[in-house]
Amino acid sequence: MKRLMILERTLKNIMLNDFLLLMKSELILVIIILLLLLAKIGVKEWTNEPLLKIINLLLLLNFVAGFFFQKEGMLFDDMFMSNKLISLEKNILNLGLLLVSMIGYSWLRIHKHVTEFYILLLSTLMGMFFMISSGNLLMFYLGLELSTIPLAALVNFDLQKRQSSEAAMKLIVSSAFSSGLLLFGISLMYGTTGSVNFQIISQHLDGSPLQLFSFLLLVAGFAFKISAVPFHLWTADVYEGAPVVITAYLSVISKGAFFFAFVSVLYHVFNNMFTTWYRILLILSVLTMLVGNLFAIRQNNIKRLLAFSSIAQAGFMMIGMIGGSLAGTASVVYFILIYVFSNLGAFGVVALVSSLTGKELITDYKGFYATNPVLSWVLAITLFSLAGIPPTAGFFGKFFLLISGAGAGNYILITIAALNMVLSLYYYLVVVKAVFMDTKEEPIERLNIPALPKIAMYVCVTGTVSIGLIGWIYDYIYSLSK
């Protein structure tokens, strides 16, 4: 009896332990990584299919666990913070990871290095978690590096493809460059404010030239990561060369995480310099939208098309960001939630087709509807969502982003953005036209889709259709944003 009480008390202590609760998401990831390592070095040779199923189950548990025991607080001398919004953001990323992993099933099934793939993937995610939770520039930098370096290895994961290693090289060079910029910015910021702590920095901001310069460097570093124009040049090549699953991961989860971090850094640290970064973001967003859309129109490879479209989407998200801390944060987080579903749905179809047939050109998709009606509808619905057509959720996401931007009173920007939506609709419709209207002698044959990717597709479509119609989701995110 007494022993039981001790056990209960220790359990209670564990449950109430700040360290365990606040870092819950990261710790779970560490546990999964360790399990994978053990599986790799263990005696038993795992075949791919059961291993993948177990991993997906673990990721599902990880996603579900994210909803429980959310706590608000700081750790390690304010280096690490957590609150409900951050937990939500981590959950969104967890969900995205789960979907990516399910979509990648048909590709990974025949791959030789499944455990390594997941170890690398999960460590990037952990890096992103640290980045989002950071309360300190050093912590932020640490997370950022942890999230980018394994990514380069992942981009090279099609080991036989030369394009893949070229892409990896490009990614590592460009991300090293942008990290350099960021680090330089951080060191200057430390020089002018005497601290790397977010709160202390925000109290010591006076807009001196050196601070502005360091701020610019920081923004440039971010712009690299979210592939904003003119720092977007690595994007298309890397997206094309990487395996489709990793492309999806890069364009949705990695980008989403950087946006979360960007929003939180801008509003928590640089809130006083709003007018400065308002203008910077304005220019960046207009350029990003325009260039992304115009280049997307000219693509004939569907991966490249989605790459440029994701550049354009980043431009839209930056519009949302200028709308003040409340609406800005809420609309960006909401949009990324929707973006996870719709972009992963589109990438899911592309990944399936690419892994089962090796075809990636838009012209290959001609007559796709005749042979694969379900996949065609998935592709169409998710593309419409990316284009912002109701009743899909993308409409609501874009609408709220633009409303948030218009709240800052800049109607010219809104007009440009609204016209850009028409521009973007064109290239999405080109794909839809190829799929539904064109015919071809030999269309892609009827694909036999494994269960896991199929479930992922259904989840994506359900999310894409329903999120916007359920009003309280946005209200909930809005209530969390401060």
Partner 1 sequence: MCSLTGATIQFLLSGWLLLAYLKARSTGDKATMLFEYRHQWFRSLNINYHVGIDGISLAMILLTAFVVLSGILISWSVETKSKEYFFLLILLSLGAYGFFISLDIFMMFFFLEVAVIPKFLLIGIWGSGKKEYSAMKLALMLMGGSSLVFVGLTGLYFNSVTGNGAHSFDLQQIAQLHIPVEAQKIFFPFAFVGFGIFGALFPFHTWVPDGHSAAPTAASMFLAGISMKLGGYGCLRVATYLMPDAAQYYSPVIIVLATIAIIYGAFATMMQQDLKYINAYSSVSHCGFVLLGIGMLTKTAINGAVMQMVSHGLMTALFFAAIGMIYHRTHTRMVSQLGGLLKIMPFISTIFVLAGLCSLGLPGLSGFAAEVTVFMGSWQRPEKLYRFATILACASIVVTAVYILRAVGKTVMGPVNDNTYPGLSDASWNEKTASIILVAGIVIIGIAPFLLNNLVSPSSEIILKKITSSNY
Binding stretches for partner 1 (CB under 8 A): 330, 384, 389-391, 395, 399-400, 402-403, 406-407, 409, 411, 414-415, 418-419, 421-422, 425-426, 429, 432-433, 436-438, 471-472, 474-475, 478-479
DSSP string, 98-142: HHHHHHTHHHHTT-S-HHHHHHHHHHHHHHHHHHHHBSBHHHHHH
Q: Which residue carries 């291993």 as its tokens?
A: 51
Residue 275: CB atoms within 10 Å:
8
Cis, peptide link before residue 230, omega less than 30° from 0: yes
Cβ-based nearer residue to partner 1, 106 or 382: 382
DSSP string, 216-239: HHHHHHHHHHTT-TTS-HHHHHHH
d(CA 337, CA 342): 9
Distance of closest approach, residue 391 Cβ to partner 1, in angstroms:
6
Distance of closest approach, residue 82 Cβ to partner 1, in angstroms:
23
SS3 73: strand
Cβ-based nearer residue to partner 1, 138 or 290: 290
Cβ-based nearer residue to partner 1, 233 or 437: 437
Distance of closest approach, residue 365 Cβ to partner 1, in angstroms:
15
Distance of closest approach, residue 482 Cβ to partner 1, in angstroms:
13
Cβ-based nearer residue to partner 1, 26 or 364: 364
d(CA 326, CA 43): 53
The residue type of 78 is D
Distance of closest approach, residue 19 Cβ to partner 1, in angstroms:
34
d(CA 240, CA 303): 6
Q: Quick check: 147 and 127 in contact, CB under 8 A?
A: yes
Distance of closest approach, residue 439 Cβ to partner 1, in angstroms:
11
Beta bridge partner(s), residue 136: 197
Cβ-based nearer residue to partner 1, 133 or 420: 420
Which distant-in-sequence residues (6+ apart) come within 8 Å of 212 by Cβ? 273, 276
Distance of closest approach, residue 449 Cβ to partner 1, in angstroms:
21
Residue 169: CB atoms within 10 Å:
16
Distance of closest approach, residue 44 Cβ to partner 1, in angstroms:
49
Distance of closest approach, residue 416 Cβ to partner 1, in angstroms:
10
Cβ-based nearer residue to partner 1, 49 or 438: 438
Distance of closest approach, residue 362 Cβ to partner 1, in angstroms:
14
Token pair, residue 243, equals 């395996």
Q: Quick check: 217 and 280 in contact, CB under 8 A?
A: no
Q: Which residue carries 């700081």 as its tokens?
A: 74
Residue 409 Rama label (left phi>0; alpha psi -120 to 50; beta): left
Helices (H), 156-232: 162-193, 198-203, 209-225
Cβ-based nearer residue to partner 1, 407 or 450: 407
d(CA 195, CA 187): 10
Cβ-based nearer residue to partner 1, 6 or 437: 437
Cβ-based nearer residue to partner 1, 75 or 414: 414
Cβ-based nearer residue to partner 1, 41 or 412: 412
Distance of closest approach, residue 303 Cβ to partner 1, in angstroms:
23
Cβ-based nearer residue to partner 1, 209 or 471: 471
Beta bridge partner(s), residue 74: 81
d(CA 314, CA 7): 50
Q: Quick check: 431 and 365 in contact, CB under 8 A?
A: yes
d(CA 203, CA 190): 13
